[in-house]
Amino acid sequence: MLRSDIAILIVDENRDRAAIIEEGLREAGHVRVNTVTEMRGLVRQIETLSPDVIIVDLENPNRDQLEHFFAVSRSVKRPIAMFVDRSDTASIEAAVEAGVSAYIVDGLKKERIKPILDMAISRFKAFSRLTEELAEARAELADRKVIDRAKGILMSMRGLSEDEAYGLLRQTAMNEKRRLADIARSVVTAAQLFGK
């Protein structure tokens, strides 16, 4: 459910169309609404206004306009609902890949804005969670690989069993109050320096 206190930014070169969106938002109880009609320096304006969600309305977007907004979407890391009058499969795929949370073709009606924003925010949160989980899983996998490599180095250099090598890494990490993976990286780096 869209909170009424969130900051919303409308990006539209057409002031009349922007007024329709703003009216729909205000009727839904939103008071923190800003409108930007100049596309130059858009990322800077977004950083200055710091909206919670962005609504982009493009009447007849050309490829350059779409690419510009997709680049903005990648850099600002906020939910974006994009309204366009017409589209093609390539544009829709590019929008999804760029992280646009809602891409609505021929759908600018003020009574539809609130539910579309609710959906855009929900999709953005779900996508952000998945992205964080993926980053965590990749980091854990990298940590496991470096720990296994460090165990192998210790087993080879000191004649230890796998359990003994792991125990040594673990004990060193506890003694130095550092993460096990950080100790393992140090072992791997030292082995590389000494050509082991």
Confidence grade of residue 27 (pLDDT, cut at 50, 70, 90): confident
State the pLDDT at residue 173: 95
The domain 8-108 having CATH identifier 3.60.21.10: the answer here is no
Q: How far apart are CA 134 and CA 4, in angstroms?
A: 32
Confidence grade of residue 96 (pLDDT, cut at 50, 70, 90): confident
Reference 170, options 159, 183, 158; nearest CA is 183
The DSSP call for residue 132 is H
Q: Mind listing the pLDDT tens digit for each residue in 136-152?
A: 999 999 999 999 999 99
State the pLDDT at residue 57: 80
Q: Mind listing the pLDDT tens digit for each residue in 72-90?
A: 777 777 888 887 777 777 7
Any residues with CB less than 8 A from the CB of 130 and at least 6 apart, and which? none
Q: What's the CATH fold of domain 134-193?
A: Arc Repressor Mutant, subunit A (1.10.10)
Half-sphere exposure of 107 (CA within 13 A, CB side): 16
Interhelix angle 63-76/42-49, rounded to 10 degrees, is: 40
pLDDT at 94 over 70: yes
State the pLDDT at residue 37: 84
- Residue ranges covered by each domain of the chain: 8-108, 134-193
Q: Global pTM? A: 0.61
Q: How far apart are CA 30 and CA 4, in angstroms?
A: 5
